[in-house]
Structure 1
Amino acid sequence: MKLLQDFLLSLNIPLPQAQLFVTIAGLLLFLLIAWLCGCIFRHAISPAILKIVARTHAVWDDYVFNTCVLNSLSHVVPGVVFFILLPIVFENGTADRYPYFHELFVRGTHIYITVTVVRLFCVFLTNVGRLTSEEEGYNGKHYLIGLTQFLKLAVIIIGVIAGASYGFGRSPLSLIVSLGAVATVFAFIFKDTLLGLISGIQLSANKMIKPGDWITMPKYDVNGIVEEVSLVTVKIRNFDNTISTLPPYTLISDSFRNWKGMADGGGRRVKRAIYVDINSVRPAASVDVKRWKEACLLDDSFNPTDTTNLTAFRHFIEHYLMRHPEVNTGRWLMARQLDPTPHGLPVEVYFYFTEREFVRYEHLAADCMEHFIAMMPEFGLRAYQAPTGYDFTQIN
């Protein structure tokens, strides 16, 4: 730069005009150099990095060093190169002669670097979120989706504050202090958004739900599979194919049921009751017990001493379930008597199926309960049922 200025002065060009010409020429030259550095990175270095990434067996680098991230990085390179070369342009005293001109380029370069770096971080965090949701090996780390969204928001806020501080020529701390009152108003206006943000972090960090979980919330008529968990929304596809969208703080403030334990456990529970007419309960004769055993309704371990037909029926239910191929005999299995009600004496059947798929589970449970009801007359029992119009027509 100094050599060019001395050459212009040797041509009897006044010093102010020579300095201005050298400054403009230097700016144009360094802008060209910065642009060329960006092109070299985009068209030479980026393809080389992509080829190296494609040869590795790891999955994460396909997201961290993909085309979007490298293109965003290529926009950062020209800003950094120009920022490094910028002091050379103004070393000839132009900064003192044209302070506003110097300040314009310095602040503009700072803002450009801030914007491109924020964009780079946002693209990088978006790809980390995609890695978590798309790759099977990372599904267990679903909380990273909420974390990356929170980090993106934090990066954008920091970028806006930094860009504003560069633009107004003030320190970020003083800018934050001056915006304190405004921030209070915005916090009140966006109260629900902030609540959703905090609740989303809590849901993700505590692993309360994740995509693929089956949850139910009767209060909001939600019964389906979680499709997406973000910082501000939880998206559930109900079994009737409708979509329910809830704010995360709803899942924190209200109760919901997550069926993940059932899916990961040894089966799905059946807990249903048969209401027995109390008037049909009677002592069981030894002849009846012998007949039931000959019909393989009871096993030899059943003790006929001082027993009733209802006791034999409960043992029949347990004996039947123990032999059922779809029943998990390693979990609780029983037929128990509950407190009598005006609608009869409840006999609750409690056991677990190994089958967890909804439709098949319901079919198996219905088959068992229907079989138990159909076998009640074999034990001299009647199911309780309130009188219907048909019953009244049979009175005469």
Structure 2
Amino acid sequence: MESIRSLIEQMLVSIGMSPHYAEKSIFVFLLLCLGFISWLAGYIAHRFITPVILKIVEKTETVLDDYFFNRPVLKALWHVVPSIIFYLLLPQCYTEKTSPTAINLISGATRIYITLTIILLIKAFLSNLVIYSNEQDKLKSHHLIGIIQFLKLLTYLIGAIIIMAFLMGENPMGLIAGLGAAATVLMFIFKDTILGLVAGIQLSTNKMLKPGDWITIEKLNINGIVEEVSLVTVKVRNFDNTICTVPPYTLVSDTFQNWDGMKMRHARRVKRALYIDVNSIRELTEDETTQLMQHKIITSNEIEKAGNPPINLALFRHYIERLLINHPEVIHQETWQWLMARQLEPTPNGLPIELWFYFKEIEFVRYEALTAALMEQIIANIPNFYLRLFQSPTGSDIAKALSSGTIKINKTFSSDCV
């Protein structure tokens, strides 16, 4: 390199250039040559090596290399390689007469550029990791987006510290160690980010939430599908197509309902109550029970269970349970799924008979249609058991009572009202 430098310097001096300007011209010329060589190395790698790597990756059976050796990652890599080549060959351009200011300026700028290219490479790698985790069924249940966003933020933070150290002429490790004294201030500034990260890790490790889950947060009036779980927000699209954002820490500190278990078990609970008028509960006569059996509404076994003489409400409960067991869409063979028609504590509005069972159908519209059809059938058969549903009087009930004379209006007025 020195012989080439001396030969070029002699040629420039021979044509009348002063030795001072000849030396500077040679320095600039070598820098341009070094920059061209570095650029050429990156161009060759991008133009010829990238297609070879992509073909090799395409032929492999593993899926992971398709994400970590694709075009975005290789493009970022081919920016790192030329900058490193430039930095390693840069001392060959210096001489004893080269200004220290120029050396520090060019070396510092090269280091900053290398740092920026490495940050872009890590960013491309982490972005592909997000895509990979979203497309793999085994990783969909893990909350990786928030963690990866934190890693990106950490990469930017460390990169900014390193660049600041290069600009200040300090050792990056010494500058990072010096920031330990400001840890309290940094924790206060990034409080929401840190809480979001910790909450995101808890949501992931406990498998509490993932994109695609149906969640309900009654406190915040949120009921919809999770679209995105990031470092500081959870985006939920409600069923009215409005979008709500919730901090992950809120989901961990407060309670929310996740309907994903319903999808996994393909079972959705029905819990409805019918309020029976207590005055209609009574013992049935033999003729009444015989009539019910003739219409195949009840069975002899159900009559025996209802007591002697049978109680109409007990027969009604047994009828409901048999109807549910014979329904093709109702789950009744699993021990973990309850099926019953039970009494609750009496209320001023009547005696509640609660139906508790599970449908195989979990799709919302179909589920509601099945529930409505079944409840309509049960309500329609209530009069067959000589029972009445409790219902508060309406205007038509009062008008009917007035017209029949059941209720009479006192038309006598006191003298004080005249």
Does TM, scored on the shorter chain, surpass 0.5? yes
Contact 1:266 1:328 in 2 (8 A): no
Aligned 1:146-161 pairs, distance under 5 A: 146-161=146-161
Question: What SS class does the counterpart of residue 240 from structure 2 fall into?
Answer: coil
* Partner AA of 1:65 in structure 2: F
* Corresponding residue number in structure 1 for 2:105: 104
Contact 1:132 1:144 in 2 (8 A): yes
* Corresponding residue number in structure 1 for 2:324: 321
Please give the alpha-carbon distance, in whole angstroms, between the structure 1 residues aligned to 2:77 and 2:11: 44
* Corresponding residue number in structure 2 for 1:70: 74
Please give the alpha-carbon distance, in whole angstroms, between the structure 1 residues aligned to 2:332 and 2:380: 23
Q: Is the counterpart of residue 265 in structure 1 residue 269 in structure 2?
A: no
Unaligned runs of 5+ in 1: none
Q: Is the counterpart of residue 23 in structure 1 residue 24 in structure 2?
A: no
Q: CA deviation at 1:200?
A: 2.7
Q: CA deviation at 1:379?
A: 0.6
Q: Is the counterpart of residue 222 in structure 1 residue 225 in structure 2?
A: no
Q: CA deviation at 1:122?
A: 0.3
* Corresponding residue number in structure 1 for 2:115: 114
Q: CA deviation at 1:43?
A: 0.6
Please give the alpha-carbon distance, in whole angstroms, between the structure 2 residues aligned to 1:39 and 1:313: 83
Q: CA deviation at 1:237?
A: 1.2
1:86/1:390 CA distance change after superposition, 3 Å: same
Question: What SS class does the counterpart of residue 331 from structure 2 fall into?
Answer: coil
Structural RMSD (CA) = 2.4
* Partner AA of 1:340 in structure 2: P
Instruction: Identify the match of residue 315 of structure 2 among 312, 315, 337.
Output: 312
More displaced 10-residue stretch of structure 1: 179-188 or 248-257: 179-188
Question: What SS class does the counterpart of residue 29 from structure 1 fall into?
Answer: helix
When the two structures are superposed, what TM-score results if normalisation uses the length of structure 2? 0.87
* Partner AA of 2:161 in structure 1: I
Question: What SS class does the counterpart of residue 349 from structure 1 fall into?
Answer: strand
* Corresponding residue number in structure 2 for 1:370: 376
Q: CA deviation at 1:186?
A: 5.3
% identical aligned pairs: 48
More displaced 10-residue stretch of structure 1: 5-14 or 241-250: 5-14
Please give the alpha-carbon distance, in whole angstroms, between the structure 2 residues aligned to 1:175 and 1:29: 35
Question: What SS class does the counterpart of residue 216 from structure 2 fall into?
Answer: strand
* Partner AA of 1:115 in structure 2: L
* Corresponding residue number in structure 1 for 2:133: 132
* Corresponding residue number in structure 1 for 2:414: none
Contact 2:9 2:23 in 1 (8 A): no
Contact 1:72 1:120 in 2 (8 A): yes
Please give the alpha-carbon distance, in whole angstroms, between the structure 1 residues aligned to 2:307 and 2:217: 49
Q: CA deviation at 1:139?
A: 5.3
Q: Deviation digits for residues 155-194 of structure 1, max 9, x if unmatched? A: 1111111121122111234323555676654543453344
Q: CA deviation at 1:108?
A: 1.4
Contact 2:325 2:332 in 1 (8 A): yes
Please give the alpha-carbon distance, in whole angstroms, between the structure 2 residues aligned to 1:119 and 1:356: 45
More displaced 10-residue stretch of structure 1: 148-157 or 267-276: 148-157
Aligned 1:1-396 pairs, distance under 5 A: 1-7=1-7, 20-90=24-94, 92-94=95-97, 97-133=98-134, 135=135, 137=137, 140-176=140-176, 178-179=178-179, 184-185=184-185, 187-302=187-302, 303=304, 304-306=306-308, 307-330=310-333, 331-395=337-401, 396=405
Contact 1:50 1:66 in 2 (8 A): yes
Q: Deviation digits for residues 123-174 of structure 1, max 9, x if unmatched? A: 11111112222x2545535422222212111111111111211221112343
Unaligned runs of 5+ in 2: 406-418
Please give the alpha-carbon distance, in whole angstroms, between the structure 1 residues aligned to 2:266 and 2:332: 10
Q: CA deviation at 1:366?
A: 1.4
Contact 1:268 1:354 in 2 (8 A): yes
* Partner AA of 1:98 in structure 2: S
Please give the alpha-carbon distance, in whole angstroms, between the structure 2 residues aligned to 1:10 and 1:364: 97
Please give the alpha-carbon distance, in whole angstroms, between the structure 2 residues aligned to 1:86 and 1:77: 14
Contact 2:192 2:232 in 1 (8 A): no
Question: What SS class does the counterpart of residue 143 from structure 1 fall into?
Answer: coil
Contact 1:336 1:348 in 2 (8 A): yes
* Partner AA of 2:68 in structure 1: V
Between the two proteins, the alignment pairs up a number of residues equal to 392
Please give the alpha-carbon distance, in whole angstroms, between the structure 2 residues aligned to 1:71 and 1:141: 31
Please give the alpha-carbon distance, in whole angstroms, between the structure 1 residues aligned to 2:141 and 2:266: 24
Q: Deviation digits for residues 347-396 of structure 1, max 9, x if unmatched? A: 11111111101111111111111211111111111111111122212222
Question: What SS class does the counterpart of residue 273 from structure 2 fall into?
Answer: strand
Which has more radius of gyration? 2
* Partner AA of 2:93 in structure 1: V
Q: CA deviation at 1:18?
A: 5.9
When the two structures are superposed, what TM-score results if normalisation uses the length of structure 1? 0.91
Please give the alpha-carbon distance, in whole angstroms, between the structure 1 residues aligned to 2:12 and 2:326: 111
Q: CA deviation at 1:298?
A: 2.4
1:173/1:85 CA distance change after superposition, 3 Å: closer
Please give the alpha-carbon distance, in whole angstroms, between the structure 2 residues aligned to 1:343 and 1:356: 31
Please give the alpha-carbon distance, in whole angstroms, between the structure 2 residues aligned to 1:25 and 1:271: 84
